Structure 1
Amino acid sequence: MARTKEFDPDAALQSALELFWRRGYEATSMADLVDHLGIARASIYATFGSKRELYLRALERYGEQQNPLLLSELSQPGPVLPAVRALVHRFARESAADGDGGLQRGCFVTNTAVELAPHDEGAARRVEASLGHLETLLTAALVRARAQGELPDGRDPQALARLLLVLFQGMRVIGKAGDGSARLRDAAEQALALLD
């Protein structure tokens, strides 16, 4: 008779996500995962595979949690630019909080891009997919803004979306580096001026 799992794999994956997000891949050992999840090493391997496989599944989970929020923020009916402006301000505010005694987690995708993507093809593919998804959401929102007359005809929605994407990722890095709230605020305001 097969034994049943004595833990909730979904809760364990969420807990692993939080640990990896806070500490990174290299700084998180299997012993750390065993302690944090409260699950035997053999059970982690049997359920999730290797540490790397668990990390990549946690990265996918992160996207599953973040993407609907971004889609919701950018696809509300009515004027689009207020939502884009609110998103820029939210990224600046959250990034500043990371450097102001926060958890300094940054963005899990950005963290993965810096730590793993240069030498891990699977991580690089997932990072690119996540960044591509955000770029697509931003581009679609800005195309709508231009169609509604909120954005001047001469503005390229995809180029602006790419600028915002790079800004968001840079904000997350600056936020992890320390108190960059003035830098983040100024960068956000300058980027938003391009939407006028």
Structure 2
Amino acid sequence: MPRVREFDTDEVIQQAMEVFWRKGYEATSIQDLAEATGLGRGSLYAAFDSKHGLYERALQRYVRQTTDATRESLMRRVPIRQVMRELLLGRIDDALEEPGRPGCLLVMAITERVPHDEAANRIVCDAIAALQDSFYGTLHLARSMGELPPGADIPALSNFLVTMIQGLRVMSAVCRDKTLLGQVVDTALNAILE
């Protein structure tokens, strides 16, 4: 008779996500994951096949959480400048909130895994496309309400904002100055929303 799993898979993925987020993929060992989750190595392998299998699930969870949070922020019925400013400043706050955790798991995946990991590349590309779609919808609505000029290039603005978010996350890993990062946000918004 097969053994029944005696753990919450979602909780294990969440705990693993925190480890990968803090240490990166390469620096995370199976022992690190076992200690964080309270599971033995055999249980981790049985449930996820490999460290990489668990990493994929953790990265997918992170992407889902951050994409959902971004969509929720963008759906608020306030002026576009306020929506964008609060979203970008919120990403800075998130990044600076926990000093031991560098920036963004998605950015870490881009720099550490994407060049040679097809699964991570697919997850990252899907995440970026989802963010672009979220920005596209919000910017399109703002243009239809007269908050952006009729000729505003919505796809280009969407791509810029996705790049801006990722850039802020990279910079916040090395620059802990919230005022300076806030000035970068204001400069970018002045450039694209004026």
Report the TM-score when normalising by structure 2: 0.92
Residue ranges of structure 1 left out of the alignment (5+ in a row): none
Partners of 2:116 and 2:39 lie apart in 1 by 29
SS in structure 1 of the partner of residue 114 of structure 2: coil
Change (3 A) 1:8 1:113: same
Residue 11 of structure 1 and its aligned partner are, at CA, apart by 0.9
Partners of 1:24 and 1:102 lie apart in 2 by 15
The CA RMSD over aligned residues, in Å, is 1.7
In the TM superposition, 1:43-192 aligns within 5 A as 43-77=43-77, 79-95=79-95, 97=96, 102-192=99-189
Match of 1:17 in 2: 17
1:2 aligns with 2:2: yes
Say how many residue pairs are matched: 193
SS in structure 1 of the partner of residue 193 of structure 2: coil
Change (3 A) 1:182 1:76: closer
| Larger deviation, residues 2-11 vs 177-186 | 177-186
Residue 78 of structure 1 and its aligned partner are, at CA, apart by 5.4
Residue by residue, what CA displacement relative to the aligned partner does 1:15-56 show, whole Å, maximum 9, x if unpaired? Answer: 001111111100001111112111111110110111011101
Partners of 1:135 and 1:38 lie apart in 2 by 37
Equivalent residues of 1:81, 1:145 under 8 A apart:
no
Residue 81 of structure 1 and its aligned partner are, at CA, apart by 3.5
Change (3 A) 1:182 1:164: same
Please tell me the residue identity of whatever aligns with 1:170. G
| Larger deviation, residues 127-136 vs 175-184 | 175-184
Amino-acid identity (%) = 37
1:42 aligns with 2:45: no
Residue 107 of structure 1 and its aligned partner are, at CA, apart by 1.3
Equivalent residues of 1:25, 1:55 under 8 A apart:
yes
Partners of 2:158 and 2:54 lie apart in 1 by 31
SS in structure 2 of the partner of residue 26 of structure 1: coil
